[in-house]
Every structure is written in C-alpha cells, then in structure tokens.
Amino acid sequence: MEKNYGPLNPGKRMLMGPGPSDMHPRVYQALITPLVGHLDPYFIQVMDETKELLRYVFQTRNEFTLPVSGTGSAGMETCVCNLIEPGDTVLICVGGYFGDRMAQMVERHGGRLVRLENEWGRPFTADQVNKALKENAAKVVGIVHAETSTGVLQPLEDIGRVVHGHDALFLVDTVASLGGVSIPVDEWGIDACYTGSQKCLSCPPGLAPITLNDRAVERIVNRKTPVGSWYLDMSMVKNYWGGSRVYHHTAPVTMIYALREALVLMHEEGLENGFARHALNYRAFRAGIDAMGLKFFVEEAYRAPMINPVLAPDGIDEAKARAHLLKGYGIEVGGGLGALRGKAWRVGLMGQSSQKDHVLLFLGALEEALLAQGFRTAGSGTAAAAAVYAG
C-alpha cells in the first residue's frame, strides 16, 4: 500500500527548553516573504540592515559583524578555525558541555589545547585564567558566557582584562545569552564573539551571528596557513557581505529575512527593556521554584536568567515529568546533559519565551506533573510568581 504523507502539524507548543525559543508572529510572516536572489539589490539592502542591527545587539562598532550560514556551533567553529593555526596554543575554559565542544574543535583544527577545567556549575575566576596563562602563553582564550548545559552565567570583564594583559585574543560564546542580558562587546574587550539565532534572538535555528574586532581581523589577515574550512573562511565570506559583494555561497535568504525581523523587534523594544523583561520573568520563576521547595543547580549569584537547570526531587522520573508537560500542555523543556543527565530539567526563558504567561503556566503544569508521581510541593509556585509580578 502506498504511504500517505499528511501535512506538517506538530501541534501546540510552548518552547521553554534550552532552544529554540518561541517566535513572534512577525518573524513567521518574514519567513513567507517572497524569495529573491542572494545578489539581488533588495537583498543586499536587507544584508546591510541586518549587519547594522547585529551591531546594535552586540553593542559594538565592529565593521566585521555578520551572520554565518549555519547554527551556533558553526559560529563557534568559524571563530576557532579562523583565529588559530596549527601549533597555536589555545586556552579553553571547560565548565560544561559547550566549553568541551570548543576544546574539541581546537584539537581538530590543529591547535595545542590547554584545558582549564572547572566542576560543572562553578564559574571561572580571573585568577584561575591568569595562572593558566602564566604557565601557557596562549594566543587565544575561549570561554562560554552562559553555559546552556549548567545554567552558569560567567562573569567576563575581569577575565577579559587578564587575557589582554597576556596579549591573547578573547573569544566568547554568547549563544544562550545575547539578547537576554547586556553584553557590551566593545566595553568588555571581547575580540571575537558568536551566538545562535534560535535562543534569545527568537529566530529559527540556522544562523550564527559573529562579530570580530580589528585585533581578531588582523590575526586572520596575517595567517601563514589557509583556514582549514573553505566554507567558513572569513577572509572570503567578508567579501560577499562587504562592499565588493563577491559571490562566496548562496546565502539563506529566507533565514536572513527572519533574523532581520527578529532584530527589528528587539530594536523596537529597546535592549534595556528586553534585559529587564528577562530579569523580571526569571525573578518570578525563581520565586515559584523556591516556593515549591525545588532546588536550582547553580548558586544564585551565577545563574543565567535565560536558562536554569532545576533539580528533580529524589524519586522523580524527570523524563516522565517532561512527557507530562508536553502531552498535557504542549510545554517543551530540556533534559539534563552530561553530569545532569536524568537529574534536572533545563528550563529556558529566552527571547519570546520569556513571558509572564509562560512562567505561570509552566509552574502550575510542573506542580501537576510532580503530583502525578506522588510528590507534593511545599507551596504554590504560581502564587509566589504572581506575587512578584504584582509587586
């Protein structure tokens, strides 16, 4: 019998995991904007506006600011393969799943990797980085700002000063944080920075915005060996996104439409207003989790407001609770990675998913999911969150 393929219909979803996040209706509308060629004059205008808006969100004047065609990991690999050459010493701060991924990429591209390891859930200190750089004269230091696997929001300013004091480049992963908290790239001395389109930017996955300052661009210009990836070689890609518009690859036109619209929405809201919204919804979420008697994985001082692992109580099947949320309410949250596998829910409050209704519905639904497994919470999470919103 011939198989019948029906229309796509995933059903209702409220995306509250580690990404992707919910999208605004205007971003969906952008995705059905008529297609044009990747060298069409109209699209070139869209490219220029997208670069301007990215500079706004990165809080930078860097001319070299553009979206790489690929997911957030492509942004990571773009920075790694362009900034290091075979034999270069590279220090990577590994405190979670994505710090480890960056370290793996350094080795694949021939770098001499130095791993600075921290227990999952603990941020790095400037003293740790300084000690490591005294022992290893690295050319690049890489670190994750908001580690999606642990929920740690890494302080950056002091580490950036230490890195520059050792004449190294400062590479920062902001895949989970850009748009959710302030990241003044120029002020903090970040030489190379990348993110993903699907988290706090609230766009579909598939683009990796990056920004490189003059120090980073100079490193690329003065390479002695070709970049190991033809597709990600920024010495060629910049000519397509810059004034000469030399063809490099066929840009994902529709995705860039969507990214531009998502960035326009952020510009209309205002960065500071967006940061305040993320902070408020996190405070309400935190109050609810605390009232229920549940525990966060990360200490309060170092929690990322946009991604928080919440530990499942003893005896609770966290996967079964997630299934309850999905089947009963269409709520998607993430399970734990690595050391947290089977032990935590990773709850995202990113971009368009950082909303009052999301927080209140999730807390009530989680209480029901726990009760279904015989666990009674210490108090009402929704009441505690509502008090934050009311106050």
Compute the 3-state secondary structure of the chain and give helix, strand, coil in percent, each to the nearest 5. Answer: 45, 15, 40
- The domain defined by 25-268 folds into Aspartate Aminotransferase; domain 2 (3.40.640)
CATH 3.90.1150.10 residue ranges for the chain: 270-390
How far does CA 78 lie from the centroid of its chain?
15
Report the CATH superfamily, name and number, of domain 270-390: Aspartate Aminotransferase, domain 1 (3.90.1150.10)
- Whole-model pTM: value is 0.97
Q: What is the pLDDT of residues 79-98, one digit of tens each?
A: 999 999 999 999 999 999 99
What's residue 243's pLDDT? Answer: 78
What's residue 1's pLDDT? Answer: 76
Distance CA 276, CA 274 (A): 5
What is the residue-wise DSSP string for 37-53? -TT-HHHHHHHHHHHHH
Q: Which tokens in the block code for residue 182?
A: 């302030």
What's residue 11's pLDDT? Answer: 92
Does pLDDT of 260 surpass 90?
yes
Distance CA 277, CA 354 (A): 7
In 122-217, beta strands by DSSP E: 140-144, 146-147, 152-153, 169-173, 192-194, 207-212
Q: What is the pLDDT of residues 152-191, one digit of tens each?
A: 999 999 999 999 999 999 999 999 999 999 999 999 999 9
CATH 3.40.640.10 residue ranges for the chain: 25-268
What's residue 244's pLDDT? Answer: 85
SS3 220: helix
Q: What is the mean pLDDT of the chain?
A: 97
Residues whose CB falls within 8 Å of the CB of residue 124, separated by 6 or more in sequence, listed in order: 93, 95, 116, 118, 143, 154, 159
What's the Cα-to-Cα distance from 387 to each of 64, 208, 261, 308, rounded to whole Å?
45, 38, 34, 20
